Amino acid sequence: MRFLFYTQSLVSDWNHGNAHFLRGVMRELLSRGHEATALEPSNSWSRLNLIADQGVGPIAAFGKHFPELRAESYDANFDHEAAIGEADVVVVHEWTEPALIARLGRIRRDGGRFTLAFHDTHHRAVTQRREIARLDFTDYDFVLAFGEPLRERYLSAGWGRHVFTWHEAADTSLFRPMPEVEKTGDLVWIGNWGDDERSAEIASFLVEPARRLKLRTRVRGVRYPGAALKALRAAGIAYGGWVANAEVPRIFAEHRATVHIPRRPYVEALPGIPTIRVFEALACGIPLISAPWNDAEGLFRAGRDFLFAQSGEEMTRLLCQVLSEPAFAEELTASGLETIRKRHTCAHRVDELLHIVASYRPKSAASDGVTTKEAAL
């Protein structure tokens, strides 16, 4: 089948974690003999910020890291009708402009032979509810929500006819253990500062424990204000700025532990949805200790796959234990890696996507050899 993904960006992962997942999904589709193309706006916020921050080098490097992936940009004059005319499945990310979301729905309504899905991977359905409510899903076949609480929010609001939970996952062809890499640091956190959604948590669960334990600590990410950078320096933490996601597995391998610090909107309004970095870290076999969040869907085995710290003091204690007890750390990483490989790879998510799509393929697609089942609308 021919898949077309509308995304904020495939090429840039600057403050754009969904690019990680989409790259993995597309690579998995390609490995199975499907076709996959991403369409992104030429003025993508993530791409423009990446160029402003790092120049054009990372754009060229994307092609070297992911030579099999195909991304095309579009502007106001782009012919979307022609682009999707040959597609079997079109997946539209919620960052897409509302007018284009509606336009694609009309094309589907007016005889489009493709299956049309909307994909939401953000907390705007809760924090900016009116913006999502204004989007027109009338002619979309189904919605993909990256967590059960978000799926329930869509259903209760009446957004979309059918809504499925489709979690993010690790691209295990990229995120894997690298035991041959020498450990040069104790603790690493790869995360963006964001919109002041976790500033207190970063101080409590990262900065203070690293300072107290005098750990060799490195932070990578973007959008750190001056006050945050000052606090990192005062704690003896090295800040390295943006890092391409393709380079993250080696960075994990160079360190002995990492932490997860969820954004407050997910903890408070959408419990049970971790960021993709949890999947990626566990896939790399690095011990992970997390600030509090409610794994409402039982995605992981808390206390076995990773550890929960309920306070900064507990984070300090658990980091000390992980770093001083190699056997304990090895048991933790083996368990986390096992769970990823059994449940949370991009291959698993492609299996889920293909299963969902099979129920929504237009009847006329049966002639191309695709099994079709009429959806119960």
**Which architecture, in CATH terms, is 185-343?**
3-Layer(aba) Sandwich (3.40)
Region 192-212: what's the mean pLDDT? Answer: 92
> Percent of the chain at pLDDT above 90?
83
CA–CA separation, 263 and 195 (whole Å):
9
The residue extents of the domains of the chain are 2-169+345-368, 185-343
- Asked if 2-169+345-368 and 185-343 have one fold, the answer is yes
Q: What is the pLDDT of residue 182?
A: 98
DSSP secondary structure string, 292-348? Answer: ----TT--S-BTTTBEE-SSHHHHHHHHHHHHH-HHHHHHHHHHHHHHHHHH-BHHH
Q: Tell me which residue of 146, 81, 151, 134 sits closest to 111, measured CA to CA.
A: 81
Provide, rounded to the nearest whole percent, the portion of the chain with pLDDT above 70: 96
Q: What pLDDT, on a 0 to 100 scale, did the predictor assign at position 367?
A: 39
- Per-residue confidence (pLDDT) for residue 122, from 0 to 100: 84
Q: Which pTM was predicted?
A: 0.94
Average pLDDT over the chain, rounded to an integer: 93
End-to-end CA, the chain: 24
* CA gap 105, 139 in Å, rounded: 5
125-153 pLDDT tens trace = 777 788 888 899 899 999 999 999 999 98
Confidence of residue 362 (pLDDT cuts 50, 70, 90): low
By the 10 Å C-beta count (0-12 exposed, 13-18 middle, 19+ buried), 164 is classed as middle
163-165 and 2-6 strand pairing? unpaired
Q: What average pLDDT does the segment 242-257 reach?
A: 98
pLDDT in tens, 167-182: 999 999 999 999 999 9
pLDDT digits (tens, 9 = 90+) for 305-346: 999 999 999 999 999 999 999 999 999 999 999 999 999 999
Instruction: Please compute the mean of the pLDDT values over residues 194-220 and round it to a whole number.
Output: 94
Give residue 306's pLDDT: 98
> What's the pLDDT score for residue 228?
96
* H helix intervals, the chain: 18-31, 45-54, 57-65, 80-84, 98-109, 124-127, 129-133, 148-157, 199-202, 208-213, 226-234, 248-253, 264-269, 276-283, 312-324, 326-343, 346-358
Residue 17 in contact with residue 104, Cβ under 8 Å? no
Q: What is the CATH number of domain 2-169+345-368?
A: 3.40.50.2000
Are the C-beta atoms of residues 108 and 114 closer than 8 Å to each other? Answer: yes
pLDDT score at 363: 53
